[in-house]
Amino acid sequence: MKVLLCSPESEVWNSRAHIHMGLGYLAGSIRAGGHEVEIYDAGVEKVPLRDVMASGKFDVVGVSAPTPLIYEAWDVASEAKRLGAVTILGGPHLTLMPTESMAKPQVDLVAVGEAEDTILEVLDLLNRDPGKAQEEGGPRLFTHPGWKDILGLWWRNAGGEVIGNPARPLRQDIDNIPFPAFDLFKIEQYTNLQPITDGLMKHPRSYTIITSRGCPYACSFCSKPITGNTWRPRSVENVIKEWKWLVEGLHANEIGVTDDIWNLDIKRAKDLCRALIREGLNKVPWITIHGMKVNHCDQELFQLMKQAGCKRVGFGVESGDDRILKYVIKKSQTKDMVRQAFKWCKQAGIQTMGFFILGMPTETEETMENTIKFAIELDPDLANFMIAAPYPGTRLWDIVQREGNIFSHDWHDFAIQESKAHYEMGDLTAELVERKWHEAYRRFYIRPSRVWKRVTMLDTYRRLPTHIRNFGRFFVGTQAPRRRLLAPQ
Ligand code: B12
Ligand code: SF4
């Protein structure tokens, strides 16, 4: 079978581009299963997807979608169906709401949860039963009895009835999952992972790696449809083997660890650093993109990370208000733990990045003020302020459904990093949250020390148009209009 795996165009998070590990892993498994596979990541591609699909003659087109990109995923499926391919959708949004997409005639199949095994079983069965549409553009109906045995799959039987098979248990032997097909990404079209130094490296070859899957914590805003509250580490040996491939085989010059929480087990984290040093892999800088939690680290870990080549660490600080942190977000960390981790990290000579969230239920002007002040006190190299987004399946979603007023059920509006509030609740008005969000960016970034740092950075001039756009968006409040990838012709 010839398969095309796509990530639809995203107007969200456009400040940097990462390779899509979900597609990379699926492609790795599909290839290991003896099929042909290509990856199309609309975030970086130059040739329109329509042209790639038209010239490629793909038997199957698979599309990945987080919640804000679901409309684009449906658009891609329509086009793929028009060209005669079997369409299958997967990823976080599909795992949360499979029936919504199965109601679309252009979607033949939906995979729920991790899908390295599901996709292989689907491809094998498609060889025997490719399904049949009853009318032009209609969904494929399947007759082979094997369809009901593919765990985690949604499909339609001969009568057109939508069937949701039982969920697929998470694989525990994750060392045995084939490595992502890193070589299929057009790596030279991706930017640096480092927003601070984006553009400084002339020819970035930035890859990402996942050393563990999942996170056992349960922060109220966090959407974890794929892994739930589990944590599955890969062995240090297995991670090192992949890291070596990236450095020595694919000439990575920057690596991002994208685990939800790579340091849950401090001993393993230290062992990994020691192995990177021992193997000489520390010559290539790496960063943790999300994956560092302040209550699972000590001074030695940061020192080892520095020796192992770590350049920057991202921390989920979330709030500068203890009540919000403890009773609303339920982050299992205190402000003092955050202060300590930042101190150790800076002492080790590693750059810091902080993620902050504004507009959680019961927040007031004062609690958001505490968050802004805390961000300024911590003074990370980079701060990201996000307006709370209630994703389906989270506790935040339940609270807001029950007690608040959600403005929009347009999934586009569920993007993180938008300057628009998603809901109001009691005294927490949209006007207040949006005002504090702009204020947070202004007060954090427009400080004499910050402005001076920017002025002295070469990158500031290289990426001037982006900075001007971001200035309007973050500090003043202008937004680019949204665009759909495959708008009807
Ligand atoms: C790294 C990461 C990023 C990176 C890279 C994104 C990317 N395209 O991969 C960056 C920083 C760019 C990013 C951006 C965004 N992200 Co993000 N990101 C993550 C993170 C931390 C890890 C993703 C990952 O690599 N997982 C590991 C791989 C192996 O798993 P996977 O991608 O889920 O893929 C598996 C299954 O989902 C399934 N699958 C996936 N796609 C497909 C397709 C088919 C056809 C099939 C059959 C199966 C299938 O099979 C895969 C293999 O098992 C997750 C949190 C998490 N742990 O899931 C959040 C997460 C996925 N991101 C999220 C969001 C919201 C976004 C943004 C929309 C943020 C925004 N700006 O609003 C953007 C969207 C960008 C985009 N174009 O996709 C949410 C999604 C929530 C939701 N309900 O949809 C998550 C869950 C974070 C969270 N807790 O809220 N993100
Ligand atoms: S926000 Fe981070 S620590 Fe909290 S549940 Fe999500 S991944 Fe885990």
Residue 481 lies inside a defined structural domain of this protein: no
Lowest mean pLDDT among 2-6, 25-29, 245-249, 460-464: 460-464
259 and 321 in one domain? Answer: yes
pLDDT in tens, 403-424: 999 987 788 878 766 788 999 9
How many angstroms does the Cα of residue 256 sit away from the middle of ligand 1? 15
Confidence at residue 483, expressed as pLDDT on a 0 to 100 scale: 34
327 and 270 in one domain? Answer: yes
359 and 323 in one domain? Answer: yes
CATH number at residue 421: 3.80.30.20
Instruction: Kindly give the number of the ligand 1 atom that is closest to the alpha carbon of 43.
Output: 77
pLDDT band at 191 (very low <50, low <70, confident <90, very high): confident
pLDDT in tens, 3-24: 999 999 766 655 567 899 999 9
Work out the mean pLDDT of the chain and round it to a whole number.
91
377 and 263 in one domain? Answer: yes
153 and 63 in one domain? Answer: yes
Q: What is the residue type of 169? A: P
How many angstroms does the Cα of residue 366 sit away from the middle of ligand 1? 33
Listed as own residue / partner, the contacts of 28-34 with beta carbons closer than 8 Å and 24 or more positions apart are 28/116, 28/177, 28/178, 28/179, 28/180, 28/181, 29/116, 29/117, 29/119, 29/120, 29/177, 29/178, 30/3, 30/5, 30/119, 30/120, 30/123, 31/178, 31/181, 32/178, 33/120, 33/123, 33/124
For residue 259, the ligand closest to its alpha carbon is: 1
- Position with higher pLDDT, 469 vs 398: 398
How many angstroms does the Cα of residue 454 sit away from the middle of ligand 1? 31
d(CA 487, CA 181): 30
pLDDT band at 484 (very low <50, low <70, confident <90, very high): very low
CATH number at residue 66: 3.40.50.280
Ligand 2 close to Cβ of residue 215 (< 6 A):
yes
363 and 241 in one domain? Answer: yes
pLDDT band at 476 (very low <50, low <70, confident <90, very high): low
Residue 222 lies inside a defined structural domain of this protein: yes
- Spell out a b/e string for 376-406, using b for 16 or more CB atoms within 10 Å of the CB, else e: bebebbbbbbbbbbbbbbbbbbebbeeebee
pLDDT in tens, 105-149: 999 999 999 999 999 999 999 999 999 999 999 999 999 999 999
Using CA positions, which residue lies closest to atom 4 of ligand 2? 219
227 and 139 in one domain? Answer: no
pLDDT in tens, 23-34: 999 999 999 999
pLDDT in tens, 255-313: 999 999 999 999 999 999 999 999 999 999 999 987 789 999 999 999 999 999 999 99
d(CA 213, CA 418): 27
251 and 112 in one domain? Answer: no
- Position with higher pLDDT, 444 vs 452: 444
71 and 212 in one domain? Answer: no
229 and 140 in one domain? Answer: no
Q: Please check whether residue 231 is in contact with residue 213, taking contact to mean a CB–CB distance below 8 angstroms.
A: yes
Q: How many domains does the chain have?
A: 2
Ligand 2 close to Cβ of residue 74 (< 6 A):
no
d(CA 460, CA 413): 29
Residue 170 lies inside a defined structural domain of this protein: no
Residue 169 lies inside a defined structural domain of this protein: no
198 and 102 in one domain? Answer: no
Residue 484 lies inside a defined structural domain of this protein: no
256 and 213 in one domain? Answer: yes
Residue with tokens 């702009």: 438
- The pair of three-digit structure tokens given for residue 244, joined into one six-digit string: 């070596």
Residue 159 lies inside a defined structural domain of this protein: yes
Range of the domain at 353: 191-475
Where would I find the H helices in 245-364? 266-278, 299-307, 322-323, 335-347
